[in-house]
Amino acid sequence: MKVLLVEDELPLAQQVQSELHAEGFTVDHSVNGEDGHFLGANERYDAIVLDLGLPIMDGVSVLRAWREDGITTPVLILTARGSWQDRVDGLNAGGDDYLAKPFHMEELVARMRALIRRSAGVAAATLNHDEVTLNLQTGRAYLSKQPLPLTAHELKLLTALMLRPEKVHSKEELSEKIYGYHDERDSNTMEVFIARLRQKLGSSFIRTIRGRGYTLSGQ
């Protein structure tokens, strides 16, 4: 799962990035509203963490601009504790949830996962497809109830596929789920990761749609 963090308070941003990385997220970070707006408008993210008190372009303006441009990525708003009007303004601008500072990192991670699940139309924290089970809360996968050893990239790839099993995911889309904005990307490496997952999950678990990408759907 790939998220964008727009936060100018560097110590907090570093904490959030570290926690999200530890929980298996790919994270891009921006320190001002202008750059954050650009990334949110031009990169694909599963969710965005947006502080409202940003330099250059405030968070509410960023959020309104995204929504006016048709960007529907779920957004978790960060506000100062007690600033109820900021929370109202953020939600009215198109925010999906909010968290008041200071907060527990565990709550932020839980809210991010919930936003991503709801965005994908998934209510439960556990995904099932054929004999494979993926717990989004713990980041652990099972095959026929047996623990499945996956690398960080393999887990991100499997999560993307299982959140939307009916979708045909292009190699470029899957690559964006794994790599950050500043990382060197090679969509051809997806073939390697897909091959590794097939070795662990069975050759028929992931279908190749020639010229389009990969899907879990049997249709």
What would the pLDDT profile of 147-162 be if each residue is shown by its tens digit? 999 998 899 899 999 9
Mean pLDDT of the chain: 90
SS3 36: helix
* 64 neighbors 91 (Cβ within 8 angstroms): no
Q: How far apart are CA 8 and CA 6, in angstroms?
A: 7
Q: How far apart are the first and last CA of the chain?
A: 25
Which architecture characterizes domain 2-119 according to CATH? 3-Layer(aba) Sandwich (3.40)
The tokens describing 49, both together, are: 């963490």
* 47 neighbors 22 (Cβ within 8 angstroms): no
Give the model's pLDDT for residue 182.
66
Q: How far apart are CA 180 and CA 25, in angstroms?
A: 10
Q: Please tell me the least confidently modeled range out of 43-52, 54-63, 107-116, 179-188.
A: 179-188
List, by residue range, all CATH 3.40.50.2300 domains of the chain. 2-119
List, by residue range, all CATH 1.10.10.10 domains of the chain. 126-215
Q: Please, which residues have CB within 8 angstroms of residue 23's CB and are 6 or more apart in sequence?
A: 109, 139
The tokens describing 95, both together, are: 């925010």
Give the model's pLDDT for residue 87.
83
100's enclosing H/E stretch is: strand 97-101
> CATH top-level class for 126-215?
mainly alpha
Confidence check: pLDDT of 218 > 60 = no
Q: Which amino acid is at 166?
A: E
